[in-house]
Amino acid sequence: MRIIHIAGLSGSGKTTFIRKLLPLLNKKGPTAVVKHLGHHQFLLETGKDTTHFFSEGALASAGTDPEKTILVWRDTSLEHIMSILSSAGTQYMLLEGWKTHPFPKVTLGNLPLAQGVILSDPSPEQVLGVLDKFPHYYSLQGLTLEVQSGREQTVLISGRYPACVAGADPDSRREFYLHFSPILDTITREAESSPGEVKVGLHLHQGLMFGGEDAILVAVGARSPSDAIRVFSSLQERLLPVIQGG
């Protein structure tokens, strides 16, 4: 799931821009939008059963009609929201607001001290041209769906492992990300070139950017159990030094 961060001061046109970009992204894959409401509180419709359930303390209250589901969830963690959307098969997530968050971003208007700016005041079409510059986020379920997509695989194996980085300071962790990401790409290509119809997903969860600990997500799909187990075992052997801090 690509995270496309749209940032700008109030009144800079973020919502209007997203409304133009959204249908273009939808042509490429399922797209979700997450908006930071800031100091504005979203008011639930009074008198509705879903509102009563939430007011009485439900962790989540949902209502479903023939077209859609409305969900109210007692959680404001952006990390948890991203995990749910990835697990649902979202391919692109447009993020409006959170202007101080360290995601690579598109800025609209004047945004002093903005970091990680990819484009400033672009057209929606220009954003489509640089999608590869926006980071991937996956939950373990989301990575598994990515591996399974478009294939008739009967066996799926997945796992999540903490990545032990030498030095817990931010600079050491960023250096690890830069060094290890290309290695993961190489390991993936080598694993998929092994005998059998195998699809491999390897993802480095960058805790500095997305929250939580640094971790390696692994998903393997294959037609036969023996191929899936063989490839998954070989991946664990390759990743073991990193998991153990080597």
For the stretch 12-37, pLDDT in tens is: 999 999 999 999 999 999 999 999 98
Across the range 71-83, mean pLDDT stands at 94
Phi and psi of 217, rounded to 5°? -100, 135
Please give the pLDDT value at position 152: 67
Please give the pLDDT value at position 153: 62
158: helix, coil or strand?
strand
Residue 5 confidence class, pLDDT cut points 50, 70, 90: very high
Name the CATH architecture for the domain at 141-243.
2-Layer Sandwich (3.30)
Contact between residue 106 and residue 118 where contact means Cβ atoms under 8 Å apart: yes
What percentage of the chain has pLDDT greater than the value 90? 74
Contact between residue 210 and residue 161 where contact means Cβ atoms under 8 Å apart: no
2-133 and 141-243 in the same fold? no
117: helix, coil or strand?
strand
The interaxial angle of helices 140-148 and 78-87, nearest 10 deg, is 20
Tens digit of pLDDT for each residue in 110-134?
A: 998 888 999 999 999 999 999 999 9
Across the range 55-70, mean pLDDT stands at 94
Residue 245 confidence class, pLDDT cut points 50, 70, 90: low
Sequence-ordered list of residues with C-beta below 8 angstroms from that of 198, at least 6 positions apart, any chain? 191, 192, 220, 221, 222, 227, 228, 231
Tokens standing for residue 217: 């997500």
Tens digit of pLDDT for each residue in 151-171?
A: 666 789 999 999 888 777 889
> Does the pLDDT value for residue 246 go beyond 60?
no
Cα-Cα-Cα-Cα torsion 149, 150, 155, 157, nearest 10 degrees, comes to: -20
Domain layout of the chain by residue ranges: 2-133, 141-243
E-strand ranges in the chain read 2-8, 31-35, 60-64, 69-73, 92-96, 105-108, 117-120, 155-162, 198-205, 215-222
Is it true that domain 2-133 has CATH number 3.40.50.300?
A: yes
Residue 97 confidence class, pLDDT cut points 50, 70, 90: confident
> Does the pLDDT value for residue 203 go beyond 90?
yes
Question: Residue 4: which region, alpha, beta or left (left: phi > 0; alpha: psi -120 to 50)?
Answer: beta
Tokens standing for residue 90: 């979202």
Q: pLDDT averaged over the chain?
A: 92
Please give the pLDDT value at position 99: 84
Sequence-ordered list of residues with C-beta below 8 angstroms from that of 149, at least 6 positions apart, any chain? none
Q: Which of 127, 153, 159 is nearest to 25 (CA)?
A: 127
